[in-house]
Amino acid sequence: MLLDTPVCDFGWKAPDFTLEDPDGTSFRMSENLGDKGLMIAFICNHCPYVKGIADRLAQDAGTLMDDGINFVAVMSNDYHSVPDDNPQNMKRFAKAFDFPFLYLVDHDQSVGKAYGAVCTPDFFGLNKDGALQYRGRLDSAGMGNADNRVPELVNAARQIAETGHGPAQQTPSMGCSIKWSR
């Protein structure tokens, strides 16, 4: 099911969380805000929208990380009902696309629910204080048009890093619905 994300709720205080990647490396949100903020991407392995942007996601995340902006991805799907999204497949997916960021498992889906994640991909750009300043898409090209893309996520993250505030105009992300457990 194709869904769009809601409009950015500027200033919403992101709840702290601690998650691990498939190898057990821990990540605590509040310890990784940094002086330039944090971009959180809710993604999964099986979604065609995520697959369609995975190369650009890796490239743009690397650019942001080079700029000192922290980046992490969270997989909140119920991987028991969607085995393609299980932790071992997360490792394969991250390696295949050379992700430069941690790809974390939200085993009980509590982080996805706390953030109100709707679809994959779903991006949350936080300023250094953990206040939401971006809820939009990776770029304006969407799938299959990388030549003419406008890197909305990169531009927004850089603006947040510089000013603490995201752009007033944001294009909602769209993708497959989060697969919640029943």
**Is 146 a domain residue?**
yes
| Domains of the chain: total | 1
Q: What pLDDT is attached to residue 149? A: 74
DSSP string, 123-138: EEEE-TTSBEEE---S
Going from the C-alpha of 131 to that of each of 11, 94, 124, the distances in angstroms are 5, 27, 10
Could you tell me if 60 and 154 are in contact, meaning their C-beta atoms sit under 8 angstroms apart?
A: yes
**Is 6 a domain residue?**
yes
**Is 109 a domain residue?**
yes
The single-letter DSSP state of residue 108 is T
User: Residue 91 sits in which domain range?
Assistant: 2-177
- State the distance between the two ends of the chain, measured CA to CA, in whole angstroms: 17
**Is 156 a domain residue?**
yes
**Is 182 a domain residue?**
no
- Supply the CATH number for residue 140's domain: 3.40.30.10
Alpha helices per DSSP H over 67-151: 87-96, 110-115
pLDDT in 10s for each residue of the chain, 182 residues: 566 677 889 999 999 999 999 999 999 999 999 999 999 999 999 999 999 999 999 999 999 999 999 999 999 999 999 999 999 999 999 999 999 999 999 999 999 999 999 999 999 999 999 999 999 999 876 444 556 677 899 999 999 999 999 999 999 999 999 999 98
Could you tell me if 138 and 57 are in contact, meaning their C-beta atoms sit under 8 angstroms apart?
A: yes
**Is 7 a domain residue?**
yes
Q: What pLDDT is attached to residue 166? A: 97
Could you tell me if 136 and 153 are in contact, meaning their C-beta atoms sit under 8 angstroms apart?
A: yes
